[in-house]
Amino acid sequence: MAPRKQAVSGLRIADVAKMANVAPITVSRVLNLPEQVKESTRNRVLKVIEETGFVPNQNAGALASNRSRLVAVLVPMLTNPIFSDTFQAIAEQLAANGYQVLLGISGYEAEQEQELLDVILSRRPDGIILTGTVHTEPSRKRLRATGVPVVETWDISDAPIDMLVGFSHAQVGHSVANHLLDQGYRHFALLSVDDPRGKLRAMAFLETLQARGITDIVHQSFTDLPALEQGREGLARILATDDTPRVVVCTSDTVAHGVLTEAASRQLSVPEQLSVFGFGDMNFAAHTYPPLSTVRIDGKYIGQRAATALLRRLKEDNYEPVNDDIGFTLVDRCSTRQQTPHE
């Protein structure tokens, strides 16, 4: 067996070029534009790179081109399939165009996002993709001052930092309330999670019910990230004070799944005795028992659209910033049912 070759430390492109008996520009082309190099020459250079363990200095290339080829993406969490679908779509499209992704987890805290942005901006990213439109004022000022292209996602705003791809959470709340009222529901409970976008949906939902004369609404709110146990605990709290909630609306499918689980443990029939409505149409929503009625958001499309907008901005100096409202879809499944008015 041939001895294993050891990586050579401190190598530069010029050293690799000398070993391969080519010009340094040829090594650079092999690394960046391999299709422009004759196959035999390319293979000779690649063999030297493999044998020496050479790693190109990306910072040097970035300085020369004034581009870092780095895009920062900030999401609240990755355990939620919605956000992971969005991030996956962004990462795949950026990678296909030669960009690396720096991932930051911001939770639902604008202050935590600000700390991440302080670190990220020091790396001089070519672009930044954010989740939501709620940011600290220092973050807004700094992002605008740097001139780095920014795409805000998962919400809409009258005053975006730069580009925007999302939908109206307030409109979701209004639409869910009107949809259930039109189906004949008159007795409501609400389980919400205290994140900025969930609060918008919850507030709009309550306002719409109140505007249509429904004021006796049981509301339980949680401060942590959405979790199944919140749904179980929330329904238990509701039933402790109100034994006849007709429909429980949740600001997350995860919480709604917990409501279904708690209802099953108490032998409550869904939707005959209790109806449940969620948000997100996560990958499990159609497979709960019974299948969950919810609001469908195309997280993958948000990611694709955000990446496309950012890439066009980076390639075209005069590209008009996008401001896209992608909308949402109400999905009726078996956890709610059509009723006659005032049933």
Residue with the bigger pLDDT between 259 and 83: it is: 259
Q: Crossing angle, helix 228-241 and helix 253-265, to 10 degrees?
A: 60
Tell me the pLDDT tens digit for each residue of 54-70: 766 555 554 444 567 89
Nearest to 161 by CA among 201, 130, 198: 130
Residues 302, 163: contact at Cβ < 8 Å?
no
Query: What does the radius of gyration of the chain's CA atoms come to, in whole angstroms?
Result: 26
How much is the pLDDT for 61? 52
pTM of the model: 0.79
What is the dihedral sign for C-alpha 226, 94, 125, 314?
Answer: negative
Q: Which of 102, 75, 48 is nearest to 195 (CA)?
A: 75
* Tokens read off for 262: 């708690």
DSSP sequence for 114-174: HHHHHHHHHT--SEEEEESS---HHHHHHHHHH---EEEESS--SS-SSEEEE--HHHHHH
Q: Evaluate if residue 30 carries a pLDDT over 90.
A: no
pLDDT above 50 for 340: no
Q: How many residues does the chain have?
A: 343
Percent of the chain with pLDDT over 90: 68
Cβ neighbours around 339 below 10 Å, total: 17
Phi/psi for 326 (5° steps) reads -85, -10
Over the stretch 68-81, which tens digit does the pLDDT of each residue have? 789 999 999 888 88
CA gap 332, 275 in Å, rounded: 11
Average pLDDT over residues 187-210: 95
pLDDT mean over 156-185:
96
Non-local CB neighbours of 44 within 8 Å, separated by 6+ positions: 20, 21, 22
Q: What is the pLDDT of residues 296-314, one digit of tens each?
A: 999 999 999 999 999 999 9
Picking from 238, 180, 229, 225, the residue whose alpha carbon sits closest to that of residue 205 is 180
What pLDDT shows up at residue 10? 62
In this prediction, residue 338 has a pLDDT band, given cuts at 50, 70 and 90, of low
Q: What is the mean pLDDT of the chain?
A: 89
Distance separating alpha carbons of residues 88 and 320, to the nearest angstrom = 25
Percent of the chain clearing pLDDT 70 (strictly above): 91
Over 90: is that where the pLDDT of 171 sits? yes
Q: In what order do the strands lie in the sheet with 323-325?
A: 100-105, 70-75, 127-131, 150-153, 163-166, 323-325
Amino acid at 232: R
| pLDDT given at position 256 | 98
Burial 45-80 (b: 16+ CB within 10 A, else e): bbebbeebebebeeeebeeeeeebbbbbbbbbbeeb
Helix H or strand E segment including 47: helix 39-52
- In sequence order, what DSSP letters do the residues of 205-217 get, joined into one string? HHHHHHHTT----
Tell how far CA 21 is from the center of its chain.
48
The pLDDT, as a whole number, for residue 3 is 44
Q: What is the pLDDT of residue 9?
A: 47
When mean pLDDT is compared over 97-101, 106-110, 324-328, the highest value belongs to 324-328
Greater confidence, 319 or 323? 323
**Which pairing describes strands 329-331 and 323-325: parallel, antiparallel, or unpaired?**
unpaired
Query: What are the chain's domains?
Result: 13-56 (1.10.260.40), 68-167+299-327 (3.40.50.2300), 169-296 (3.40.50.2300)
pLDDT number for residue 4: 43
The rounded distance, in Å, linking the Cα atoms of 343 and 337 is 11
